[in-house]
Amino acid sequence: MSELFGPIFGTSSVDAVTSDGALLSAMCDIEAALADGCARAGLIADAEPVVAACNRARLLNITDLGLAAGTSGNPVIPLVAAIRTDAGDAGRDVHLGATSQDVLDTALMLVAQRAVRLVSEDLAAIDHRLTELARTHRATPMLARTLLQPAVATTFGALAATWGSGVARALAKLDELSFPVQLGGAAGTLAPLHPHGPAVRAVMAERLGLTDPGTVWHTDRTVIADLAGALGLSAIAIGKVATDIVLLSQAELGEVREARPGGSSAMAHKQNPIAAVTARAGAAQAPGLVATLLENATPELQRGAGSWHAEWPALLGLLRAVGGAAAQLRVSLTGLHVDPAAMARNLAQRRDAIDATDLGHATDVVDHFLDRR
């Protein structure tokens, strides 16, 4: 959301799908989908005037909408008012049976789905690159370091394979996520739509490309916690690779080097592994934000008095942080220069204690990793 820092943290693409404008569009889409569902269930005569008003509402001035939201406590209230006014006689067909949380939860799911897709794309590219590195450097000897001390010999391919395991698990977790539509009405019982609520929800899910959860989850925030957990997993898979790149880039080791290192405002000779550095910085936001989401996941009775609102900045922040970190790690790995000679040299320094004559064990790790691809 910051134009000054966004590109540094690689959040540019994920910023677009999590912006104020994206949220407004999502809310408009949701109100339109709701009207469509109501029409199909025979609850309203014609969805078209509502859908048309929703489409026009995408162009509402966000500053004004935000100011109006300030007095009501959420942006859905003034948005619905604006759509109703615009829809004229069809105004009574707007937002039928829904409550603000329905619209905001569903909008966050739409936004999250798009952001997670971007993260997944970056992780898939990272996964591909790690597979390539593992294959190329299957037998490239290097020093393994435990507690940052020389341990035994391994290969760079084996290290890349370990990185790949974490990334693969993170990808799998993201893949398992479902992004359910929310529709429960004022207190989660779909009251005004009864008995058509489930049918309306099904239409909405289909139209919006979300999952129909078959139930309401207003106050069951395990949905959010599950999403937060998967993003946390991505953050650590990313952070692990980025940390190792930073460490192996140390001049005294010199085993890898980013293709386009960053400079310094003070030192002309600096070669900073800046993409890995900023990937770490993004990933480092995740634990605190995950904690915030967990802390706010036990809402009071039928809607949390603050905990619901607390989710918005934390979830959007988490999507951006992890999205940016994935983008930056992808940059770091693209064209990452691996230096087998430096690896050999560092390993040879410890030849007194460390035997590197047979690395079949390490190449086996790589082969096993590649077999599972």
Interface positions, 164-223, toward its own copies (CB under 8 A): 165-166, 169-170, 173, 185-191, 193-195, 197-198, 214-223
Binder of its own copies out of 128, 135, 145, 207 (CB under 8 A):
145
Which span sits near its own copies by CB under 8 A: 35-43, 111-119, 200-208, 345-353? 345-353
* Pure H helices in 137-212: 156-176, 197-208
Q: 308-337: which residues touch its own copies (CB under 8 A)?
A: 308-310, 312-314, 316-317, 321
**Residues 122/283, Cβ–Cβ less than 8 Å:** no
Asked whether position 135 contacts its own copies by CB under 8 A, the answer is no
Query: Which of 152, 199, 202, 344 is close enough to bind its own copies by CB under 8 A?
Result: 152
Q: Rounding to the nearest 10 degrees, give the CA dihedral for residues 225, 10, 236, 270.
A: -160
Considering the complex, what minimum distance in angstroms separates the CB of residue 177 from its own copies? 12
User: Which member of 37, 180, 232, 323 binds its own copies (CB under 8 A)?
Assistant: 232
Q: Name the minimum Å distance from CB 306 to its own copies.
A: 3
Is residue 119 involved in binding its own copies (CB under 8 A)? no
Residue with Cβ nearer its own copies (132 or 250) = 250
What is the CA angle 231-169-328, rounded to 5?
A: 55
Region of residue 258 (phi > 0: left; psi between -120 and 50: alpha; otherwise: beta) = beta
Q: Is 207 helix (H, G, I), strand (E, B) or coil?
A: helix
**Catalytic hit among 303, 307, 345, 350:** 303
x/- mask, its own copies, residues 244-283, rule CB under 8 A, reads x-xxxxxxxx------x-xxxxxxxxxxxxx-xxxxxxxx
* Eight-class DSSP state of 336: P
Quick one: which H or E segment has residue 151? strand 149-155
Which one, of 105, 89, 107, lies nearest residue 32 by Cα? 107
Asked if 335 and 259 touch (Cβ cutoff 8 Å), the reply is: yes
Q: Is 354 in the site for its own copies (CB under 8 A)?
A: yes
Is residue 19 among the annotated active site residues? no
Q: Note whether 357 binds its own copies by CB under 8 A.
A: no
Q: In the window 66-85, what residues touch its own copies (CB under 8 A)?
A: 66-67, 69-77, 80
Contacts of 372 (CB under 8 A, 6+ apart): none
Cβ nearer to its own copies, comparing 90 with 248: 248
Size of site (CB under 8 A) for its own copies: 166
Per rule CB under 8 A, is residue 139 in the interface with its own copies?
no
Rule CB under 8 A: is residue 344 a binding residue for its own copies?
Answer: no
Q: Least distance in Å: CB of 51 to its own copies?
A: 19
Quick one: CA dihedral 257, 262, 265, 268, positive or negative? positive
Question: Using CA of residue 347, residue 348, residue 350, residue 352, what is the dihedral sign?
Answer: positive
Choose the catalytic residue: 2, 72, 264, 373.
264
Q: Give the footprint of its own copies on residues 290-309 (CB under 8 A).
A: 290-292, 294-309
Collect contacts of 114-118 with beta carbons under 8 A, ≥24 apart: 114/17, 114/22, 115/14, 115/17, 115/18, 115/319, 115/320, 115/323, 116/174, 116/177, 116/179, 116/227, 116/230, 116/231, 116/319, 118/13, 118/14, 118/17, 118/323, 118/326, 118/327
Q: Find the Cα–Cα–Cα–Cα dihedral 310, 205, 223, 121, rounded to 10°.
A: -90
- The torsion defined by the Cα of 276, 281, 282 and 287, in degrees rounded to 10, comes to 130
With CB under 8 A as the contact rule, the residue among 42, 88, 89, 148 that binds its own copies is 148
Nearer to its own copies, 20 or 206 (CB): 20
**Which CB atom, from 89 or from 176, has the smaller least distance to its own copies?**
176
90 binds its own copies (CB under 8 A): no
Query: Could you tell me the smallest distance in angstroms from the CB atom of residue 117 to its own copies?
Result: 20
Question: Annotated catalytic, 25?
Answer: no
Tell me whether residue 89 or residue 358 sits nearer to its own copies (CB atom): 358
Q: Catalytic residue numbers?
A: 264, 303
